[in-house]
Amino acid sequence: MADVNIDQVVTTLKSKFKAGHQFIFWYDDQGEFEDSVRDLTGALAGVATVVELKMGHQLKTKLRLLGAGMSEKFLIYSPQPQPPLDENHLRDMVLYSEIFRADAPEILRKELQLPENMYSFVKRYTAFFGSKERRARFMKYDLHSYQSEPTVAIMAAIVRLDQPLVDFFAVLRLILKAGLTDNKYLNEFEKYHVINDFWSIVSDQFGFQSDQPDLLTLASGMYVTMAFQQMGLPTATDNRYNLSARAANVQTFMQQFSAEAYNQHRDDYDQIARHVWENIKVNKFFDQLDIDDLANSDVFPEFDRRILNWIQEQLLLENDEVLVDGLSIGKLTKKRREMHYGRSHNTNHLYLMVRSAWQVIQARHNRPANGFNAMVDEYTNGGYYIDMNYRHFVYEYRIAGYPDYYMRLKRLVERIYVDLLSKFNISWNQSLNYQQIAPQLLQRNFYNQYIRNEQNRIVVIISDSFRFEVGKELQGKLKQEDQVTDMQMHFLISGLPSVTYMGMPALLPHHNLALQAEERRVTVDGQPASNIEQRQAILRQANPKSTAYRFKDLQGKSRDELRSMFVNQEVIYIYHNQIDTTAENKGTEDETATAAKNAINELQELIWRLRTNSINHVYITADHGYQYRDEKIADIDKIEVKTVAEDWKSPRYLVSERDIKVPGVERQALANILENQDSRYVYYPTTANVFKANGGDNYAHGGSSLEEMVVPLLEVRTTSKKSTAHEVTLQINNSNLRVTSLEVPLSIMQTEPISSKVTPAAFKLYFVDKNNHQISGQILINANSKDTQVEKRIWRANLTLVDQPYDRNQVYDLVIENIESGAQNRVHYRIDIVDDRG
């Protein structure tokens, strides 16, 4: 036996030599200690000489021993059984010497610190324990967790289970992860004679019976049985895959396996599910099931594919009010995103995509309000969602990899959205009259209205093309931060054309604005305002303690550097450009939705950096908005208007002094827009169409629409004090904490709604025994509800206990564990279940 710990052998031998024995013979029948002769020689140095008695060397050994002095002592070790005396040339010496025998299993038992009643177990598996490394792995496990079934600890050591408590379910998970065919661990089980024990335990725990058991059939049975259990249906399969007799253990194992995959980057649960599906698909177990049933199971990724396909078909029929198991499409997608495969990157984005499509389709019958003020009021109080939902659809479609299968849905969403754009554009342009717009709403009056009389330091962030609905999304994110003490969303009406060279000057202090035809720029009191230096000079004419920076000038700056940039400044303008610089580029125009998301994140981070520099009052606004459609604008949708040299034209506007009469085109006088004597007009399409002109195919601005002209003015006040926000917690509402069934119903309440003071958290819930050994499946809960009604913050779920005997006098704990922090809350339960397994 290799690597046996010989310390006890050496101690015994030394005591025998000390007692006066000159020669000690050790006949090691099985040669179990042959590899330890060198260690013995070293350990006995100075006490006795170790002589290895080799075959055919008896006489030579005898002569050496006879020539030894009286004070010399010898251990004669033979890796063979002791020969009969009449065949033993050393018989006379053996008769008057000490015979030593070492019990290797007993030595191992003591080394492993196992009780005496496990001697036979160690002896039976001597081959396994012959390796020092395997013994070291075995000794990591808590004896109490495997004493009733010690072979499971051998299995655990073979699969390298990395936890102190031996758990057969955990062992089985590692085995399945290693492959369903030609499994390396089962090969080792065979080698060390625990393979029959393994299949015996599998049979006992899961009811799996087979003359020739294999992992693929076992996994197929567990996945199939779990699917039917989740759907609340009888397991409609042949006996090979029907493990419903031990359904509780199947559910517990599968819940644990699914939850474990949630916390790891590699989803072995998914990989095994795909192998199982290939194995069982010919059986067509699930082909005839209703969508209401499939919606409750997350065992196979195929179910999500079918559900997503079904949602698309319903939306193509514009059947947006259909219910699935009582859930709307919106609630169904939320539910599926919180299930196993909904958490995967691609499937998650597909559900978000169809949810956004559903929201766009729901708005197909929206009608504009009557009149300019009513339209603006409606748009800023919820009408903007159509633009937001469409943008989200485009973003998710892109992130999901432009899936061809959903092209029909994409075309429907595109058609509905463009129809809505045109419908609202027509109404908007029928009511638009610059002379009737309230002065405080006009972008050109921003500085006088909000900045000029401000007594404290203030920052104005102007983000190019940051349209209203994007500003609302930023507002929603900031609302979750408790260091935002106050926030108000105002809005401004931009000038026409709704472009940068009009909007940026309009936001500066001025008396007069003038559009210069030659340079296509607007001057501020006769001064150019096209670059950062010119704008800073204009700001300082109104308030000498003013400055201006580009967003990129602030990136990478330390806190001290930022402080020095802002010191003694009362008005700070920061120019940010993420959306426009991306969308104006032909090569990146289709990334407009991604640019909007990036802009939100950048501005949120900027506000926090300003806050840490004691800048607590910020306005976020834009020079103009934009219209975007993901499909290229067809030539048929482009309006042909002849121009002369003095005109200039872009896809969404035309500036000219001429009187132009073209169907579908309206105009506003520049004199009214700029409040001067300009004799020119700004012409624009009344629908979502564009002029035939150089420009982008998808992203456009400059025209007259809610999306282009209504820009956000988000006022944010913050505090530099430390955040006092805390994570949300869960509590159990069950009044009865006594369990009488393997299925444990739970009522779980999120204690508070999510707010700026309460942040969301994800939890896992499971039962453990007194040794902290998990005895149930797991359920995952994303506690993120903002609902103020308590009853809408309650989850009802079942946890399945392992089918095993329970002690009614013992306390078991329901663990509520914060997944990120690991913090636990425990609720004590008594389990009083009659063990009727026979």
What pLDDT is stored for residue 430 in this prediction? 97
Mean pLDDT, to the nearest integer, of 133-148? 94
pLDDT class of 5 with cuts at 50, 70, 90: low
Distance CA 652, CA 649 (A): 8
What pLDDT is stored for residue 836 in this prediction? 58
What pLDDT is stored for residue 58 in this prediction? 82
Q: How far is CA 84 from the centre of its chain?
A: 73
Is it the case that residue 729 has pLDDT exceeding 70? yes
Q: Which helix H or strand E contains 750, and what residues bound it?
A: strand 743-750
Please, is 697 exposed, middle or buried when counting C-beta atoms within 10 Å of its C-beta (0-12, 13-18, 19+)? middle
Mean pLDDT, to the nearest integer, of 453-465? 96
What pLDDT is stored for residue 635 in this prediction? 85
What pLDDT is stored for residue 235 in this prediction? 86
Mean pLDDT, to the nearest integer, of 103-119? 88
Instruction: Provide the percentage of residues in the chain whose pLDDT is more than 90.
Output: 79
pLDDT class of 7 with cuts at 50, 70, 90: confident
Q: Domains of the chain: which residue ranges?
A: 7-102, 112-285, 301-431, 438-627+704-717, 726-831
C-alpha closest to that of 783 among 744, 827, 728, 743: 728
Residue 747: C-alpha distances to residues 7, 763, 792 (Å): 58, 14, 12
What pLDDT is stored for residue 6 in this prediction? 77
Per-chain mean pLDDT for the chain: 93
C-alpha closest to that of 425 among 686, 698, 188: 686
Domain 726-831, second-level architecture = Sandwich (2.60)
C-alpha closest to that of 199 among 179, 214, 221: 214
**Do the first three CATH levels of 438-627+704-717 and 726-831 match, i.e. the same topology?**
no
Is it the case that residue 2 has pLDDT exceeding 60? no
Mean pLDDT, to the nearest integer, of 274-294? 90
What pLDDT is stored for residue 3 in this prediction? 58
What pLDDT is stored for residue 9 in this prediction? 86
Mean pLDDT, to the nearest integer, of 301-316? 97
Higher-pLDDT residue of 360, 33: 360
Taking CA 474 as the corner, what is the angle to CA 617 and CA 593, rounded to the nearest 5 degrees?
140
SS3 160: coil
CB atoms within 10 A of CB 292: 13
Is it the case that residue 712 has pLDDT exceeding 80? yes
Is it the case that residue 27 has pLDDT exceeding 80? yes
Kind of pairing between the strands at 681-685 and 665-669: antiparallel
C-alpha closest to that of 191 among 155, 137, 141: 155
Is it the case that residue 515 has pLDDT exceeding 90? yes
What pLDDT is stored for residue 33 in this prediction? 84
pLDDT tens track for 567-599? 999 999 999 999 999 999 888 998 999 999 999
The H-assigned helical ranges of 281-383 are: 291-294, 301-316, 329-337, 345-362, 372-378
194 with 800: CB under 8 angstroms? no
Is it the case that residue 548 has pLDDT exceeding 60? yes
Q: What is the dihedral of CA 534, 539, 541, 545, to 10 degrees?
A: -120
Distance CA 549, CA 457 (A): 15
Find where tokens 């349209």 sit. Answer: 467
Domain 438-627+704-717, second-level architecture = 3-Layer(aba) Sandwich (3.40)
Distance CA 737, CA 830 (A): 7
Distance CA 72, CA 65 (A): 9
Strand partners, 195: none
Show the tokens assigned to 599. 């802009």
Is it the case that residue 511 has pLDDT exceeding 70? yes
Strand partners, 670: none
Q: How far is CA 615 from the centre of its chain?
A: 34
366 with 420: CB under 8 angstroms? yes
What pLDDT is stored for residue 504 in this prediction? 98
> How is residue 324 annotated by DSSP?
B
Strand partners, 824: 817
Please, is 669 exposed, middle or buried when counting C-beta atoms within 10 Å of its C-beta (0-12, 13-18, 19+)? middle
SS3 346: helix
202 with 195: CB under 8 angstroms? no
pLDDT class of 799 with cuts at 50, 70, 90: very high
Higher-pLDDT residue of 322, 636: 322
Please, is 208 exposed, middle or buried when counting C-beta atoms within 10 Å of its C-beta (0-12, 13-18, 19+)? buried
Sequence-separated (6 or more) residues with CB below 8 Å from residue 282: none
Residue 146: C-alpha distances to residues 101, 149, 812 (Å): 31, 5, 19
CB atoms within 10 A of CB 114: 19
> How is residue 633 annotated by DSSP?
P
Distance CA 262, CA 343 (A): 8
pLDDT class of 28 with cuts at 50, 70, 90: confident
Higher-pLDDT residue of 333, 101: 333
For residue 706, give the amino acid letter. L
Is it the case that residue 622 has pLDDT exceeding 80? yes
What pLDDT is stored for residue 263 in this prediction? 67
Mean pLDDT, to the nearest integer, of 802-810? 93
Mean pLDDT, to the nearest integer, of 202-218? 95
Give φ, ψ of 13 to 5 degrees: -65, -40
